[in-house]
Amino acid sequence: MHLVRRRLWGLAREAQLTPDHHYDPYDRLAPVYDWMAWSLLLPFGGEDRFRGAVVDALGITPGTRVLELGVGTGAMTRRMVDAGARVTGLDLAEPMLERARKKAPEADLRKADILAFEAEEPFDAALLAFVLHEMDPATRAGALSTAARCLRPGGRLVVLDFDGRAPFPIDPVFRLYLRLAEPEVGRDLLEGGLLRCVERAGFAVSERRSLATGTAQVLVATRP
Ligand SMILES: C[S@@+](CC[C@H](N)C(=O)[O-])C[C@H]1O[C@@H](n2cnc3c(N)ncnc32)[C@H](O)[C@@H]1O
């Protein structure tokens, strides 16, 4: 197991691009990312139901302007556009963005660093889906500060990420998956760290919903 993990970390390091805070194994992961997400979520009621709950949390109505930070292959983008949102999305990994552009051509998808982004006009909502667990605490604070800066007062932030509240026997299997396949840097998010960092960034959290039998969580918060 140790060897597998070292190999995965090695691949991630080799693939790292500037800036240094961007964890980037996505040259290799992009071709299989959608298949991985689909199969990992299948035992928990499927990807559509899972991602649909996140779209619901955003409260999208026709024309809602959403800033998606870390679009990946566009799985959330497509669903938000279908719900009527006008999406601007950012990602640094070109192989992921290429797929997102094909999936959601209606969205404005840009190769850009979340931490450096400045909005031309304020957004109604912002989404960070499975992005913060790849970041160290300082980088996370930077990403949340971008969300705060780009939202209008009263705008909604939705954060989707891993959670550590699954029951036995799902919990040990899930933690083994995390050890093998995910960067160690975000492990504190499982034990309440996600809620703490969103609150520390100045957001008022109104809801913390459990998804996929406690392996994921969605936080809904407002920019004061
Ligand atoms: C695990 S993927 C999640 C993708 C998608 N949100 C989803 O729900 O499937 C994380 C994505 O965040 C992007 N990302 C991480 N740090 C970033 C940064 N600083 N600027 C832009 N994109 C970043 C990665 O390139 C990757 O595509």
| CATH code for position 76 | 3.40.50.150
93 lines ligand 1 (CB under 6 A): yes
Task: Say yes or no to pLDDT of 224 above 50.
Answer: yes
**What's the chain's average pLDDT?**
92
Domain span at residue 70 reads 2-222
Residue type, 64: T
Return the ligand 1 atom nearest residue 97 CA.
27
Exposure class string for 150-186: b at 16+ Cβ within 10 A, else e: bbeeebbbbbbbbbbebeeeebeebbeebeeebbebb
pLDDT by residue (tens digit) across 34-64?
999 999 999 999 999 999 999 999 999 999 9
Strand order from edge to edge, sheet including 86-91? 108-111, 86-91, 65-69, 123-129, 151-162, 216-222, 204-211
Provide the number of structural domains found in the chain.
1
pLDDT of residue 19: 83
15-34, pLDDT tens digit by residue? 444 588 988 898 889 999 99
Rg value, the chain, Cα: 16
Enumerate long-range contacts of 88-95, CB under 8 Å, 24 or more apart. 88/119, 88/123, 90/114, 90/117, 92/17, 92/19, 92/22, 92/24, 93/22, 93/24, 93/26, 93/27, 93/30, 95/26, 95/27, 95/30, 95/31
The verdict on the CB of residue 134 being under 6 Å from ligand 1 is: yes
Q: The pTM is what?
A: 0.92
Please give the pLDDT value at position 18.
55
> Ligand 1 pocket, 72 CB below 6 A?
yes
Average pLDDT, integer, range 161-185: 96
Q: Would strands 123-129 and 108-111 be described as parallel, antiparallel, or unpaired?
A: unpaired
Cα of 146 vs centre of ligand 1, distance in Å, is 14
Q: Residue 90: its pLDDT value, please?
A: 98
> Closest ligand 1 atom to the C-alpha of 70?
12
Indicate the top mutation candidate among 68, 92, 150 to test ligand 1's pocket, ranked by most ligand atoms within 8 A of CB: 92
What spacing in Å lies between the alpha carbon of 129 and ligand 1's midpoint? 8
CB 91 near ligand 1, within 6 Å:
yes
Q: Is the CB of 76 within 6 Å of ligand 1? A: yes
Determine which of 7-11, 72-76, 178-182, 219-223 has the lowest per-residue pLDDT on average: 7-11
Query: Which atom of ligand 1 is found nearest the CA of 112?
Result: 21
Q: What's residue 13's pLDDT?
A: 45
List the residue whose alpha carbon is closest to atom 2 of ligand 1.
72
More confident site: 11 or 192: 192
Residues near 88 by beta carbon (within 8 Å), at least 6 away in sequence: 65, 66, 67, 68, 107, 108, 109, 110, 119, 123
pLDDT digits (tens, 9 = 90+) for 109-156: 999 999 999 999 999 999 999 999 999 999 999 999 999 999 999 999
CA distances from 134 to 35, 43, 61, 140 (A): 20, 24, 30, 9
| Atom 27 in ligand 1: residue holding the nearest Cα | 72
| CB of 26 closer than 6 angstroms to any ligand 1 atom | yes
Residue 130 CA to ligand 1 centre (angstroms): 7
**pLDDT over 90 percentage in the chain:** 88
